[in-house]
Amino acid sequence: MLQVRVKPGIEDRIRGFFPWIYRPEIASLSRKPRKGELVVVRDFGGKFLGYGYINPEVSIAIRILSFDKEEPVTPELIRKRILEAYNYRKRLYINSNAFRLVHSEGDLLPGLIVDVYGEYAVVEFTTYGMSLFRDVVLSSLLEILRPRGVYEKTNLTARRVEGIEVEEGVLYGEVPEEVIIWEHDLRYCINIPQGQKTGFFLDQRNARRFVRDLVEPGDRCLDVFCHTGGFALNMKKMGASEVVAVDLSELALAVGRKNEELNRLSGINWVNANAFDFLRDLDRAGERFDVVVIDPPSFAKNRHAVPNALRGYKELCVRGLRLTKPGGYLAIFSCSFHVTEQHLFDVMTQASYDVRRQVRVVARTFQDKDHPWILQMPNTLYLKGIWVEVV
């Protein structure tokens, strides 16, 4: 097996269970590496640190799967980790038949995402090294879940950066274009092949539940970057008299309309528009809402994009504060690790000063518990939301 030594000073972080080793941190290799092959990681003096896989072509060159010298990376280890992840989800008592089964580093399986939608599973390999375990991942899912179908999704980053060349499609059985799932007392239509991520934003389950505590019958609500209407549907379910839901994707809005019909709801105004332009238009028209939720896509794919991202977040906060009635509620989210919770608090503070509105924090929400994050790896905490009352 390929032997890798890291530079002095790196070993403490690895011994603290941080599973990434960046390319410049590698001191030496026992030979020229092959993309995706398994490695033994050692400190500069040769002491064991962990087992992982390597891709010498990317910035995060090594991802560690085992810090135990007696537990090398084998198909049996992958199978064991997937079973442990499944047993953990069973203990969570998630009020839905859709959940994340494997959350990459959060389940000690870096590079692997598995979401379950009722009788179907969706797999996503985000690293080349983990994609080499495709067969054992699939066989494990068939054994544990006994699904009717398994679909593999791919993303542009995995293709471009990691060099994964597999086309997405059905890995096992049959996967219909539309799958109906339930969450609490609502049902959702999921388009697995065409939907964003693996088909639905499962990580916002907790926030969708929390918004119900804020909506009163007769309220006027706004769902910005609504996707397929997760927040909008919950607002309407709680008796909102009017809900405006805006998104740039006509496909997402079409699914949102289906979800409204599926739940026998009415009164949601689905708007196909650029969110920034639409918020400005609402403000100019003097529109005001009791509850405003702003859940944008990731504006910061890396740390270099953070300054521009924060300018976008500040504008959203300014518009959101102006559109929220006194005594109403505003929520804003970041789904990028690089835009932190403190960043959100800072831009909200700056925006409140600009519009001369006092705000009171009423809640903080994070990715739901089937998307676990590792304390020793802050990168695994990616979804943050702050909820404020506009005084």
**What are the residue ranges spanned by the domains of the chain?**
2-66, 75-173, 201-390
Q: Which two tokens stand for residue 120?
A: 């179907």
**CA dihedral sign of residues 211, 295, 196, 110:** negative
> For the segment 90-136, what is each residue's pLDDT rounded down to a tens digit?
999 899 999 999 999 999 999 999 999 999 999 999 999 999 999 99
Instruction: Identify whether the C-beta of residue 346 lies closer than 8 Å to the C-beta of residue 313.
Output: no
- pLDDT of 149 strictly over 90: yes
pLDDT computed for residue 350 by the predictor: 97
What's the number of CA atoms in the CB half-sphere (13 Å) around residue 259?
34
Q: Please report the pLDDT score of residue 304 as a whole number.
A: 86
46 with 63: CB under 8 angstroms?
Answer: no
What is the maximum span of the chain, computed from C-alpha positions, in angstroms? 69
Let me know: does 246 contact 223? Beta carbons within 8 Å. yes
H helices within 188-227, ranges in order? 205-211
Question: Within a 13 Å sphere around the CA of 191, how many CA atoms are in the beta-carbon half?
Answer: 13
- The predicted pLDDT at position 153 comes to 93
Residues involved in catalysis: 335
Residue pLDDT, tens place only, 167-224: 899 999 999 989 999 999 999 999 998 877 777 999 999 999 999 999 999 999 999 9
Enter the DSSP assignment of 202. G
Sign of CA dihedral 200, 206, 209, 210: negative
Class of 75-173 per CATH? alpha beta
CATH topology of domain 2-66: 2.30.130
Read out DSSP for 85-99?
HHHHHHTT--SBSEE
In the CATH hierarchy, which fold is given to the domain comprising 201-390?
A: Rossmann fold (3.40.50)
d(CA 267, CA 245): 11
Q: What is the mean pLDDT of the chain?
A: 95
Do the bridges between strand 98-103 and strand 60-66 make them parallel or antiparallel, or are there none, so unpaired?
Answer: unpaired
pLDDT at 300 over 80: no
User: Are the beta carbons of 252 and 190 closer than 8 angstroms?
Assistant: no
**Band (158; pLDDT cuts 50, 70, 90):** confident
What is the share, in percent, of the chain residues with pLDDT greater than 70?
Answer: 100
CA distance 231 to 122: 23
Confirm if 379 and 103 have CB atoms less than 8 A apart.
no
Residue 191 parent element (H or E): none
In whole angstroms, what is the distance from residue 162 CA to residue 268 CA? 41
What's at 252, amino acid-wise? A
Across 311-323, average pLDDT: 96
Q: How confident is the model at residue 163 (pLDDT cuts 50, 70, 90)?
A: confident
Count of C-beta atoms within a 10 Å radius of residue 62: 27
Asked if domains 2-66 and 75-173 share a fold, the reply is no
Average pLDDT over residues 313-319: 96
- Residues 30 and 330: their CA atoms lie apart, in Å, by 55
- Residue 148, classed as helix, strand or coil, is coil
**What's the rounded Cα separation, in Å, for the pair 271 and 249?**
10
What separation in angstroms does the CA of 116 have from each of 89, 127, 146, 156?
11, 20, 11, 22
pLDDT band at 301; cut points 50, 70, 90: confident
Residue 378 in this model has a pLDDT that exceeds 90: no
Nearest to 124 by CA among 139, 142, 110: 110
Contacts of 338 (CB under 8 A, 6+ apart): 300, 301, 302, 303, 305, 306, 309
Buried b (16+ CB within 10 A) or exposed e, 244-278: bbbbebeebbebbebbbeebebeebebbeeebeeb
